[in-house]
């Protein structure tokens, strides 16, 4: 999942214990581990200590590894002190670009005296001079966390739980649009008249079709409504990259979407609003059934959704031709999956709603369990 957990505390506060206790080693980037691998140890007057001689390279590599994981949509933990507000700045920029939420586990339930005692009992190479601990502790206790992070106490707070959507009269899922403004327009009119029905767009709103500007204007109308949710498809990745100022988008997006929009207007604020509303997946209950909605469809769910890669939701399990609906039926008989992206054969509990290949838009009615192709 697109969640970044920042550990926040001075040396000896319990960060390493938290990682070990929660089996987070495979998900953690540690500045100290990189220091050891890159620069080893120095001999100080008090014995061997972790070297900080290559700290610039250490952080450069850590951010590079973090960005690689974020491109994949992987849950990631960063283990370092992070005792200044400034230390969060780089994370914020990456989180915006890749659609992440930032969480902080703050290790503040320990006194200075306890820290000093723990330090004296640590392995020699992990011991820190007393004056350094005192200084870092003072900075930490006066730290104000930035408003864009959310503080947690336990890892379980990050575990996704199904959202109850029984407040809606009905729920409908709308498949891939691909710039098909002509077919989208009557759907927008329908949505506007049915505020008690939730409409979930399953991604790939842009690219391929001939009317991106008109499609963007219709998306602008949708963004003003409360009964709309948007899931990120693989084509929204290019929209996100454009919005955040990178040129890492496809030739198809440039040629069939962006250039045609910019021919009509320089105001692309609708695209930014859309990007800010995108979700990786939706996991919810409705009228005694449990649903899992992604753009491209999965063959099964991991035991803990926190460890589901966002890229799996955008591109799906297996290849484009993989009959994931049949596989899902065997693996997840108690959860109904709805997805777009590919041209597979639906089963009882795994429904494909992408009909853009024939110039149409699929709309699936959850109450009636019926698909219409507009």
Closest among 74, 91, 98 to 243, alpha carbons compared: 98
- Looking at 158, 181, 206, which one is the last position of a domain? 158
Checking if the pLDDT of 43 tops 70, the result is: no
pLDDT for 256-308, tens place per residue?
999 999 999 999 999 999 999 999 999 999 999 999 999 999 999 999 999 99
For residues 98 and 123, state if they share a domain. yes
Apex 231 CA angle, 373 and 240, nearest 5: 120
CATH number at 172 reads: 3.60.21.10
Return d(Cα 264, Cα 123) in angstroms, integer.
65
User: Would you say 202 and 231 are in contact if contact means Cβ atoms under 8 Å apart?
Assistant: yes
For residues 97 and 57, state if they share a domain. yes
**CA torsion through residues 130, 136, 140, 141, sign:** positive
- Looking at 109, 125, 158, which one is the last position of a domain? 158
The boundaries of the domain holding residue 362 are: 163-373
Return d(Cα 132, Cα 12) in angstroms, integer.
12
For residues 279 and 146, state if they share a domain. no
Return d(Cα 188, Cα 183) in angstroms, integer.
9
Return d(Cα 177, Cα 190) in angstroms, integer.
16
* Cβ count near 162 (within 10 Å): 15
Share the mean pLDDT of the chain: 93
For residues 230 and 314, state if they share a domain. yes
Number of domains composing the chain: 2
For residues 291 and 306, state if they share a domain. yes
For residues 267 and 353, state if they share a domain. yes
**Quick one: pLDDT band at residue 47, thresholds 50, 70, 90?**
low
pLDDT at 122: 78
């Amino acid at each position: 999942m697109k969640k970044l957990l920042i550990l926040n505390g001075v040396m000896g506060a319990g960060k390493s214990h938290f990682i070990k206790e929660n089996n987070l080693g495979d998900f953690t980037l540690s500045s100290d581990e990189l220091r050891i691998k890159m620069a080893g140890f120095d001999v100080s007057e008090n014995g061997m200590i972790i070297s900080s001689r290559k700290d610039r390279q250490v952080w450069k590599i850590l951010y590079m590894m973090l960005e690689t994981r974020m491109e994949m949509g992987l849950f990631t933990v960063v283990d370092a002190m992070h005792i200044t507000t400034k230390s969060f700045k780089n994370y914020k920029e990456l989180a915006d670009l890749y659609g992440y939420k930032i969480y902080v586990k703050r290790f503040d339930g320990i006194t200075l005296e306890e820290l000093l005692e723990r330090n004296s009992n640590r392995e020699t190479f992990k011991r820190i001079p007393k004056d350094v601990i005192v200084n870092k502790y003072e900075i930490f206790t006066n730290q104000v966390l930035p408003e864009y992070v959310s503080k947690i106490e336990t890892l379980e707070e990050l575990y996704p739980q199904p959202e109850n959507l029984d407040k809606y009269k009905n729920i409908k899922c709308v498949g891939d649009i691909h710039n098909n403004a002509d077919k989208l327009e009557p759907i927008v009119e329908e949505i506007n008249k049915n505020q008690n029905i939730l409409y979930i767009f399953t991604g790939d709103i842009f690219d391929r079709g001939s009317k991106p500007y008109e499609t963007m204007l219709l998306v602008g109308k949708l963004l003003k409504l409360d009964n709309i949710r948007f899931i990120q498809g693989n084509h929204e990745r290019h929209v996100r990259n454009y919005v955040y100022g990178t040129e890492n988008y496809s030739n198809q997006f440039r040629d069939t979407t962006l250039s045609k929009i910019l021919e009509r207007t320089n105001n692309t604020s609708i695209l930014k609003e859309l990007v800010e509303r995108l979700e990786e997946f939706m996991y919810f209950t409705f009228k005694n059934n449990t649903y899992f909605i992604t753009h491209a469809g999965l063959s099964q769910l991991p035991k803990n959704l926190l460890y589901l890669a966002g890229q799996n939701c955008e591109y799906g399990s297996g290849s484009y031709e993989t009959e994931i609906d049949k596989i899902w039926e065997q693996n997840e008989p108690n959860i109904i999956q709805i997805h777009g992206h590919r041209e597979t054969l639906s089963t009882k509990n795994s429904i494909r709603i992408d009909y853009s290949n024939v110039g149409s838009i699929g709309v699936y009615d959850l109450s009636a369990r019926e698909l219409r192709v507009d």
